[in-house]
Amino acid sequence: MTRKRFQLSLDELKENLLVMAGLAEQAIQRAIEAYRVRDLSICDLVSRSEIAINRLERDIDQAALDLLAMEQPMAIDLRFILSVIKINADLERVGDAAKSIVDRVRSMEQMAVAELPVDIPRMASLAADMVRKSLQSFIEADAEMARTVLTMDDAVDTMNRAAYKTLTKVMEEESHLAPQALNALMIARALERVADHATNIAEDVIFWVQGADVRHHKSLKKGPDPHAMGEAETA
């Protein structure tokens, strides 16, 4: 097989991205857990992993840039590297979102516990599912799996809008709970962003595997793309 070195570089790039993915996924899971059990030590873990995530983002971008310059990748290799760069950015934002959530959890520590009519845990688990599934579709280069992630985004959006309505109502009518409500709102927002990033990752996988750009186009997210090509076997 020719271009062995190049193939090894691509494999290495993929592995590093998966490490990054693992860290990001873990950050979200921990943030959600911290929210659930109000454990500040878990918050610290998340803050520390943020440093590793940022450094990995820089390393992956640099490696991708080098491959573009040195190896003149074409077709599927080019799409793969482009996807890696974008997924890299999305994963870093997921890490940021986790950090936001953890910051909210820390502020809420000073406040009284409030029972709010929002199912943050469910929203959280949906968002985490989307992240996991989109990353799984990347590992397996499975465009169909990626497409299912795109459909999950609507549910999270709906929940976020509902949370907004409910929590603003709470802030108006029970102003003593306003700080908690505000924090909960911001957590919901962060989770909605996580879901968006998972969607982006899924779109990038479809672009890589099928060469189809399905961003911002509702109808394309439904069935198989008529211009789509065969599944990727390499990289």
Partner 1 sequence: MGVGIEVANLNAWYGANHTLQDINLNIPANHATALIGPSGCGKSTFVRCLNRMHETNPIARVTGTVRIGDLDIYKDAKPVEIRRRVGMVFQRPNPFPTMSIYDNVAAGLKLNGYSNRRVLDEIVEQSLKDSALWDEVKDDLKKKSGASLSGGQQQRLCIARALAVDPEVLLMDEPASALDPVSTSKIEDLIFELKSQYTIVIVTHNMQQAARVAEKTGFFLNGRMVEFDATHKIFTNPSDKRTEDYITGRFG
Judged by the rule CB under 8 A, the positions of this chain that interact with partner 1 are 1-3, 6-7, 72-79, 211, 229-230, 234
Sign of the Cα torsion 82, 87, 90, 95 reads: negative
Closest by CA to 57, choosing from 109, 95, 106, 9, is 95
Number of residues written out for the chain: 235
Tokens coding 21: 């993915």
| Identity of the residue, 200 or 210, whose beta carbon is nearer to partner 1 in the bound complex | 210
CB atoms within 10 A of CB 81: 22
| Identity of the residue, 72 or 175, whose beta carbon is nearer to partner 1 in the bound complex | 72
Closest approach, Cβ 140 to partner 1, in A, equals 20
Q: Using CA atoms of 42, 48, 51, 53 in order, give the dihedral in degrees to the nearest 10.
A: -30
| Identity of the residue, 74 or 112, whose beta carbon is nearer to partner 1 in the bound complex | 74
| Identity of the residue, 223 or 230, whose beta carbon is nearer to partner 1 in the bound complex | 230
Closest approach, Cβ 72 to partner 1, in A, equals 6
Tell me, letter by letter, the H, E, C secondary structure of 130-197: HHHHHHHHHHHCCHHHHHHHHHHHHHHHHHHHHHHHHHHHHHHHCHHHHHHHHHHHHHHHHHHHHHHH
| Identity of the residue, 1 or 113, whose beta carbon is nearer to partner 1 in the bound complex | 1
CB atoms within 10 A of CB 101: 29
Closest approach, Cβ 230 to partner 1, in A, equals 7
Closest approach, Cβ 217 to partner 1, in A, equals 17
Closest approach, Cβ 7 to partner 1, in A, equals 8
| Identity of the residue, 30 or 147, whose beta carbon is nearer to partner 1 in the bound complex | 147
Closest by CA to 24, choosing from 120, 118, 134, is 134
Closest approach, Cβ 79 to partner 1, in A, equals 7
Sign of the Cα torsion 6, 4, 20, 158 reads: positive
